[in-house]
């Protein structure tokens, strides 16, 4: 998987981080970053729960 975040839209609200049950995402230097990408199941919960449509999972 790859994560695409539009940092112009992202407010850093942490919804995506807290909604991911696999702890894939975290804030690094204020930016949502996949810190455990191998754990991603491509469930899209993070994407669907973003209030600003700022994060997209790219299936590979």
The residues binding ligand SF4 (CB under 6 A) are 5, 10-16, 19-20, 22, 24-25, 32, 40-46, 50, 52, 54-55, 57
Q: How far apart, in Å, are the Cα atoms of 32 and each of 35, 44, 58, 60?
A: 9, 15, 15, 19
Would residue 6 be called left, alpha or beta, if left means φ above 0 and alpha means ψ between -120 and 50 degrees?
Answer: beta
Kindly state the smallest distance separating residue 30's Cβ from ligand SF4, in Å: 10
Q: Which is nearer to ligand SF4, 28 or 41 (CB)?
A: 41
Kindly state the smallest distance separating residue 29's Cβ from ligand SF4, in Å: 13
């Amino acid at each position: 998987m790859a994560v695409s975040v539009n940092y112009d839209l992202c407010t850093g609200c942490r919804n995506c981080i807290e909604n991911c049950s696999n702890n894939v995402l975290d804030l690094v230097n204020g930016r949502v970053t996949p810190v455990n990408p191998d754990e991603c199941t491509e469930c899209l919960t993070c994407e669907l729960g973003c209030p600003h449509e700022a994060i997209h999972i790219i299936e590979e």
